[in-house]
Structure 1
Amino acid sequence: MVYRHTVGRTAWAFGDLRDLMAKATPLRSGDMLAGIAAGSAEEGMAARHCLADLPLKTFLARPLVPYEDDDVTRLIVDGHDDAAFAPIAHLTVGDFRDWLLSDLATPAVLARVARGITPEMAAAVSKIMRNQDLILAAKKCSVVTRFRNTIGLPGTMAVRLQPNHPTDDPDGIAATVAEGLLYGCGDAVIGINPVSDSPAVLARLCHLLDDVIQRHAIPTQSCVLTHATTSIGLIESGVPVDLVFQSIAGTEAANASFGVTLGLLREAHDAGRSLKRGTVGQNVMYFETGQGSALSAGAHHGVDQQTLEARAYAVARAFEPLLVNTVVGFIGPEYLYDGKQIIRAGLEDHFCGKLMGLPLGCDVCYTNHAEADGDDMDALMTLLGAAGVTFIMGIPGTDDVMLNYQSTSFHDQLYLRDALGLKRAPEFEAWLQAMGITGQDGRLRAPSASHPLLARAEAA
């Protein structure tokens, strides 16, 4: 079906729904690389006007990726919650935006309709929203998950402590874990991106993190970010695995490029839950995503990268994850060229994920060959903090020495907490106070040389 819109004397035509969605997307390098971006600002605005008049029901009737060709589409269509969708089923995309920004869309109401919102609906409405709209609407979405602590409560922001090391050295990792904890980081997860894929090395890292958590009775969870098949093997071998990690994407073919199927994710989810290691909940999955992954795999089906990112959230939603992380600037400038595009993408991802009922965090990051810098990341981090982001990263000095990219430091979360009054997960906050790391006001205290965490780091 051709979609048409006239602006003044110019009549614009969009060949199908995929074309309309792509042309309505704020400009980014990945869509230009794919040859699907709007050719001018005028065409982009015409597409957004046309999209605003489209009924939300359209996305149920016309899948962007064919149902018979793609298991993610089948997951979206077959799993759609008609009852949750009913309160908004009469709206157009433009009406949906107005409703989201109105007082009618309370946190409780948004939670009730989340399962009725398909990723294409979320992506469509995001395309006609300003940055401030994305922030305000996301702020109203409350998504709470639990494993050994409670993540996502209003007024809180968690931090993933990321102690990566270029040789997986246990001493270096242990020292970084201790430093991060002493900065008050780690309530989201203590998560290592390993260099090795050796099960023996990965098992040793799992035991290292488990030892730290158990020795100090830390109410948090660990994760060694390896492939789901490897995690299943570790679990079957009796290794203490808390969270099962997997990178995911928005099409069956893109997931296949990661060596992933929906069936494998179900198996991994069941394996993680079988250990019953959570104390306050059993959300055992940790997913990472990023705009451009389907395009880089040649698996985008002519769909714009932001819509495909939202489709990845449909995959995540099926497995009730503890954490979902958009690694927004990591893939590189081929997909998000500069700071402006990274900021916009981060706000879109966070909004779409929260709207769909997911605990969305963001790795506020960029690669060294992107047209971005620390000031851009400060801006995105602050905007996401205002929008109620579930978690961000904590890395020594912002520079990940293993992955070679720039992210947020242990210090950055202190700035956000001071500026916006954000607290940590309550169980973790209580532990920090009991350990003398923070006071009752949540502010850091200087550790003594005999602090247990420092002694453990030296022993390691």
Structure 2
Amino acid sequence: MAAKLALAEVPLKRFLDEALIPYEADEVTRLILDRHDAAAFAPISHLSVGDLRDWLLLERTDSARLAAVAPGLTPEMVAAVSKLMRNQDLILVAKKCQVVTRFRNTLGLPGHLAVRLQPNHPTDDVRGIAASLLDGLLYGAGDACVGINPASDSLPTLMRLWEMLDEVRQHFDIPMQSCVLTHVTTQIQAIEAGAPVDLVFQSIAGSEAANAGFGVSLAILREAHEAALSLGRGTLGDHCMYFETGQGSALSAGGHHGVDQQTCEARAYAVAREFRPLLVNSVVGFIGPEYLYDGKQIVRAGLEDHFCAKLLGLPMGCDVCYTNHAEADQDDMDNLLTLLGAAGINFIMGIPGADDIMLNYQSTSFHDALYLRKVLGLKRAPEFDAWLARMAITEPGGRLREIGRGHHLLKQLPQISGAA
């Protein structure tokens, strides 16, 4: 409590005057300070961290005001104020932040929840991936994206995955986007080789040293962003980047500079913000109990991550997950999933049975998304919802239909994907 009282008295301007990680030594710090919007910051520049908390919770501080000040907030400011907030405060303020992005559909609208369909396979077998893809589509998942974490980094193998996903999308005219989550430099090579890349993905962290541990820099990310933009594959918008983050990565890479893991995580959002992403999510419990020990800590971190990212203007989702050696179980994931749904999370993961057979961790299933939609009255991306209705997968109102053996998708997707 003494630390909170001391933190509450810190003026917001101090975060601009005293960098936690030196400006000269870190390109993320330079990005944060060089991109800071003084005009957006002006209305709150006189506040302390505690005053900012009070201002955020005011009834009159609505979505428009939060969007207006977002370019004036730094990651250190939002991380600091999150440390003064109860869980309900984090939920209430995040709910007021609306961040809408577009590629082939519209994500982040109020009252909507999207799902990344994650059809991973331990050997990148096209038949196994296609089976999970079919399963997810019939459960109404995939509006955020279809995103494969490949087991291989072989370019020919990866090219087959991109081509299969694009062939399925085009054949069934699905308003969705796909992504193969290999290293960003491999994706640049794939674009140069003519791969049908929709979204470019990369894991990122909150310091130059930590990003170097991922084999990336701001220059590499800019090159990738420009390459993705050059393809012009979006039909509704040009948000074409996808980033994943997670508390603890900077410490693992020895790139934390003595800064706590939650503040380092918020700094990663400044990196993401630079590239106008379609999707960003924290993989909240994936790094294990060495950083987030149990279910309570995972729940708190998930709410912190969502709050900080939304305040900074990011289209934030969450991989609600845990590793098998953590003191957590599926009930903890149910709790976090429900809390994030109430907080207005943009998207979650959809994995067959919630058990990723390639990455070996526990996340959320297609059924979990159906639960959250039902309990909180959340809709899918409107363009994707209309497609599901056209394909007779859903009834009016979005409820799933009973699917018979003769359904168009069941009969044709295995042939189109090469899985038959």
Show the counterpart of 1:33: none
**Equivalent of residue 255 in structure 2, options 290, 294, 299:** 299
**Equivalent of residue 399 in structure 1, options 355, 366, 377:** 355
Counterpart code for 2:49:
V
- Is the 8 Å Cα contact of residues 168 and 413 (structure 2) preserved in structure 1? no
**CA offset at residue 73 of structure 1?**
0.1
**CA offset at residue 453 of structure 1?**
1.6
**CA offset at residue 451 of structure 1?**
1.4
- Is the 8 Å Cα contact of residues 105 and 176 (structure 2) preserved in structure 1? yes
**Equivalent of residue 246 in structure 1, options 202, 214, 219:** 202
Is 1:214 equivalent to 2:148 in the alignment?
A: no
Show the counterpart of 2:75: 119
**CA offset at residue 247 of structure 1?**
0.3
Counterpart code for 1:333:
P
**CA offset at residue 193 of structure 1?**
0.1
**Equivalent of residue 156 in structure 2, options 192, 200, 203:** 200
Show the counterpart of 2:304: 348
Consecutive unaligned residues in structure 2, runs of 5 or more: none
Question: Highest Rg: 1 or 2?
Answer: 1
Q: Give the total of aligned pairs.
A: 416
CA distance in 2 between partners of 1:436 and 1:143 (Å) = 30
Match of 2:366, SS? coil
Match of 2:219, SS? helix
Show the counterpart of 1:437: 393
CA distance in 2 between partners of 1:447 and 1:382 (Å) = 28
**Equivalent of residue 107 in structure 1, options 54, 63, 69:** 63
**CA offset at residue 447 of structure 1?**
1.3
**CA offset at residue 121 of structure 1?**
0.4
CA distance in 1 between partners of 2:414 and 2:15 (Å) = 57
Show the counterpart of 1:368: 324
Percent identical pairs in the alignment equals 73
Instruction: After TM superposition, list the pairs within 5 Å mapping 1:227-266 onto structure 2.
Output: 227-266=183-222
**Equivalent of residue 269 in structure 1, options 216, 225, 243:** 225
TM-score when scaled to structure 1?
Answer: 0.90
- Is the 8 Å Cα contact of residues 116 and 349 (structure 2) preserved in structure 1? yes
Instruction: After TM superposition, list the pairs within 5 Å mapping 1:280-291 onto structure 2.
Output: 280-291=236-247
TM-score when scaled to structure 2?
Answer: 0.98
**Equivalent of residue 24 in structure 2, options 48, 65, 68:** 68
**CA offset at residue 104 of structure 1?**
2.1
Match of 2:243, SS? strand
Instruction: After TM superposition, list the pairs within 5 Å mapping 1:418-437 onto structure 2.
Output: 418-437=374-393
Counterpart code for 2:68:
R
Is 1:95 equivalent to 2:58 in the alignment?
A: no
CA distance in 2 between partners of 1:60 and 1:378 (Å) = 39
**CA offset at residue 236 of structure 1?**
0.6
**CA offset at residue 448 of structure 1?**
2.0
**CA offset at residue 456 of structure 1?**
2.9
Is 1:279 equivalent to 2:235 in the alignment?
A: yes
Offset from partner CA, 1:362-412 (integer Å, 9 cap, x none): 000000000000000000000000000000000000100000000000100
**CA offset at residue 458 of structure 1?**
3.4
Show the counterpart of 2:411: 455
Show the counterpart of 1:385: 341
Is 1:52 equivalent to 2:8 in the alignment?
A: yes
**CA offset at residue 92 of structure 1?**
0.8
Offset from partner CA, 1:219-246 (integer Å, 9 cap, x none): 0100000111111110011110000000
Match of 1:411, SS? helix
- Is the 8 Å Cα contact of residues 161 and 177 (structure 1) preserved in structure 2? yes
Offset from partner CA, 1:343-371 (integer Å, 9 cap, x none): 00000000000000000000000000000
- Is the 8 Å Cα contact of residues 111 and 344 (structure 2) preserved in structure 1? yes
**Equivalent of residue 359 in structure 1, options 315, 323, 330:** 315
Counterpart code for 1:71:
E
**CA offset at residue 301 of structure 1?**
0.3
CA distance in 1 between partners of 2:131 and 2:356 (Å) = 15
Show the counterpart of 2:367: 411
Offset from partner CA, 1:36-88 (integer Å, 9 cap, x none): xxxxxxxxx11111001111111000110000000000000011001111111
CA distance in 1 between partners of 2:382 and 2:402 (Å) = 21
Show the counterpart of 1:24: none
Match of 2:55, SS? helix
Consecutive unaligned residues in structure 1, runs of 5 or more: 1-44
CA distance in 2 between partners of 1:187 and 1:457 (Å) = 18
- Is the 8 Å Cα contact of residues 432 and 438 (structure 1) preserved in structure 2? yes
Counterpart code for 1:114:
A
C-alpha root-mean-square deviation of aligned residues, in Å?
0.6
Offset from partner CA, 1:297-337 (integer Å, 9 cap, x none): 11110000000000000000000000001000001000100
Show the counterpart of 1:185: 141
**CA offset at residue 455 of structure 1?**
1.5
Counterpart code for 2:146:
I
Match of 1:330, SS? coil
